[in-house]
Amino acid sequence: MKIRTISIYLATFLGAILALTSCTKNDGPITNKVTINDIPAITTKIDASGSQAIDMLNLASFAGKFSVDLYFPGTTPPTKVDIVVRKNGSAANVKVFKAGVTTLPATFSLTTADIQTLFGAAVALGDTYDFAPNIYVGDRMFEAFPATGAGTGAGVIAMPGFSEFSRFAAICAYDPAIYQGNFVVVSDGFGDFSPGEVVTLTKIDNTTFSFIDPYVTSPLPIIVKVNTLNNQMTITKQKIGNAFTWNLGYTNPNMAVAAGATSVVTPCSKGLTLAIAYTVDQGSFGTFNLVLRKP
């Protein structure tokens, strides 16, 4: 360890000597051919008063809002900015949304029709649209989404409260009106339910529903919670009955579903998949998928 430390210090010392001896007093000032631009940091944030995503089940309802402002108040503003939008993360698919903005902060509104007109194509499930500024300092432009290299906001991403761009994604938003009533079993890896069997969902509130497993004695409601930000479902480990009817020796059956991409509602297709972990007093069966669809 001491040898390594000494080597590092020696290398640093020699590097410093070389750096000092590589310049002379006759080298002169920085040549006029070198231009140094002071590029202001600009943050772009979605406004909470507008739509946070594009709901594929109600495209006309989308009313997005976002703001563009200097990240450091009081700094010299750019000459102007052009607000551009990138589709699906591709720097080859960028359009100008608003050109020649000279006053910051500025707030912008947009609709599904605005986006479709810009790109000449209908919004599709899974699309993402990122809004950010091209920054002009004098007659030079610094792109938000360049074909190569980092964009104008990349250098300060880790700063608290900074947002490089505002992203609006096309999703199927959770609709509690869908997730109630009769659903049909598509498959059940655990084997309690058979394909085509009907399972009834009962709405508890706008983010919660329940169902029962009829293959237990004294069945209890199984409470399912939906995270409406990502459509993932969870079931806090809970007892679902006293025993399985197909083997009364398996007592106090429990279900649990952890948050994850394998347990989601899919409102566009009116379906859901639950990756359920099954346990009893005697041990664990493992995790199995239950897939339901609304007819």
Per residue of the chain (295 residues), give pLDDT as tens. 333 333 334 444 444 444 444 455 455 554 444 444 578 899 999 999 999 899 998 999 999 999 999 999 989 999 999 999 999 999 999 999 999 999 999 999 999 999 999 999 999 998 999 999 999 999 899 999 998 877 665 556 557 788 889 999 999 999 999 999 999 999 999 999 999 999 999 999 999 999 999 999 999 999 999 999 889 999 999 999 999 999 999 999 999 999 988 899 999 999 999 999 999 999 999 999 999 999 9
Residue 225, in any domain of the structure:
yes
279: which strand partners? Answer: 254, 284
CA angle 272, 276, 282 (to 5 degrees): 160
Phi-psi sector, 74: left (phi>0), alpha (psi -120 to 50), beta: left
- The reported pLDDT for the residue numbered 162 is 86
The alpha carbons of the chain give a radius of gyration, in whole angstroms, of 29
Among the candidates 122, 138, 171, a domain finishes at 171
Among the candidates 171, 192, 225, a domain finishes at 171
Read off the CATH number of the domain in which 65 is found.
2.60.40
**Does residue 165 share a domain with residue 83?**
yes
Residue 152, in any domain of the structure:
yes
**Does residue 163 share a domain with residue 55?**
yes
Residues of the domain holding 113: 42-171
Q: Measured between alpha carbons, how far is 14 from 11 in angstroms, rounded to an integer?
A: 5
The residue type at 27: D
Q: Measured between alpha carbons, how far is 118 from 125 in angstroms, rounded to an integer?
A: 17
**Does residue 195 share a domain with residue 158?**
no
Among the candidates 114, 144, 171, a domain finishes at 171
**Does residue 228 share a domain with residue 144?**
no
Residue 137, in any domain of the structure:
yes
Question: What is the separation, in whole angstroms, between the first and last Cα of the chain?
Answer: 69
286 membership: H or E segment, kind and range = strand 283-293
**Does residue 254 share a domain with residue 190?**
yes
Identify whether the C-beta of residue 119 lies closer than 8 Å to the C-beta of residue 92: no
Strands 54-55 and 166-171: parallel
**Does residue 272 share a domain with residue 211?**
yes
**Does residue 223 share a domain with residue 149?**
no
**The total number of structural domains that make up the chain:** 2
pTM recorded for the entire structure: 0.67
Q: Measured between alpha carbons, how far is 177 from 20 in angstroms, rounded to an integer?
A: 73
